[in-house]
Amino acid sequence: MLLTTHGLGIGHTKGRPLLSDLDISVSQAEILALTGRSGSGKSTLLYTLGTLMRPLVGEVVIEGEPVTTWPQARQAAFRARRLGFVFQDALLDAGRSVIDSVTEASLYAGVSRGSVHQRALELLSKLEVTDLDRRRPGEVSGGQAQRIGVARALLMSPRLVLADEPTGNLDPQSGAVVLNVLREYADQSGSGVVIATHDPVVVGLCDRVVNLP
């Protein structure tokens, strides 16, 4: 099993968990959809799985390692090498080019931007945002920015991809491109993908769905 949680309780205030007793799992090459109404805790759960937040109770185990108990620096190194994040907003660096935004993920894994440049271009091409690599984020559309964010998440071949509404800013055609890329990535690398979404089309393409109360 790639990811498992045991009796997970998450939330922002101790004693008032947003979600409790969560036992979820993601196996290799599986795409899991997290659904639920707004404010149900989808994003919070995603951040907890991604070691950005500590759970109130319980633990998250990724590839057999209890990542939520680690110190912050070790968690950061883990995120850099093994996790890929797609944020709700693309969060590209406004002062840098698109290619810099994509290759930024390599820095924290101790890999130079130059050595992942070719892979970044390939990913941009797969996501149908070629010829944008020298542009600044202000010169691309919201949908293009979101696809660039997906390329950044996949750059370091993470074992687990955590995507928060990855198709929220995309038209159906672009959304399908993103989902296909995520599907292909999961199938080829055996990595798991967790997607927090409202979109029934996205849910329909996932292997399994966890509906949060």
Partner 1 sequence: MKARLLVGEAVADLRSQRWRTVLLIGSLATCLILLFGVESRVVQTRASLDAAIDAPGARLIRITAYDTAVQVYPPQIDALRSLSVARAVFAITAPEGARSRATPALGDGTVRWYEGLIPPQTASPPCRSAMAGPPAAASVGLPDAVGDLRTEHGMVSLGGLWAIPRELGFLSATVLVRACEGAPPMKELVIVVDDPQHLEAATAAGVALFSATDASKLTVRSEQHALDQQRSLLRIVEADSRALQRWVALALTAIATLLLGSYVVQRRSEFGRRRAIGATSSWVACLVLVEALVSALVACALGVTVALVAQRMLMPGGFSWAFAAGAACMTLAASALGAVIPAFLAASADPIREVRVP
Interface residues with partner 1 (CB under 8 A) are: 43, 47, 52-53, 72-73, 76-77, 79-81, 83, 85, 87-89, 91, 93, 95-96, 100, 104-105, 107-110, 112-113, 152
User: Quick one: DSSP state of residue 134?
Assistant: T
Determine the length of the chain: 213
Smaller CB separation from partner 1, 25 or 91? 91
Mapped onto helix, strand or coil, the DSSP state of residue 5 is strand
Q: How far is the CB of 161 from partner 1 (least distance, A)?
A: 12
Q: How far is the CB of 65 from partner 1 (least distance, A)?
A: 16
Smaller CB separation from partner 1, 76 or 176? 76
What is the spatial distance between Cα 108 and Cα 112, in angstroms, rounded to a whole number? Answer: 9
Q: How deeply is 84 buried, as exposed, middle or buried, from its count of CB atoms within 10 A (0-12, 13-18, 19+)?
A: buried
Smaller CB separation from partner 1, 112 or 188? 112
Q: How far is the CB of 208 from partner 1 (least distance, A)?
A: 25
Q: How far is the CB of 56 from partner 1 (least distance, A)?
A: 14
Q: How far is the CB of 79 from partner 1 (least distance, A)?
A: 4
Smaller CB separation from partner 1, 23 or 93? 93
Q: How far is the CB of 207 from partner 1 (least distance, A)?
A: 25
What is the spatial distance between Cα 4 and Cα 81, in angstroms, rounded to a whole number? Answer: 19
Smaller CB separation from partner 1, 35 or 75? 75
What is the spatial distance between Cα 49 and Cα 67, in angstroms, rounded to a whole number? Answer: 9
Degrees to nearest 5, angle at CA 179 with 175 and 184: 150
Smaller CB separation from partner 1, 113 or 183? 113
Cβ–Cβ < 8 Å for 42, 19: no
CA nearest 127: which of 111, 143, 139? 143
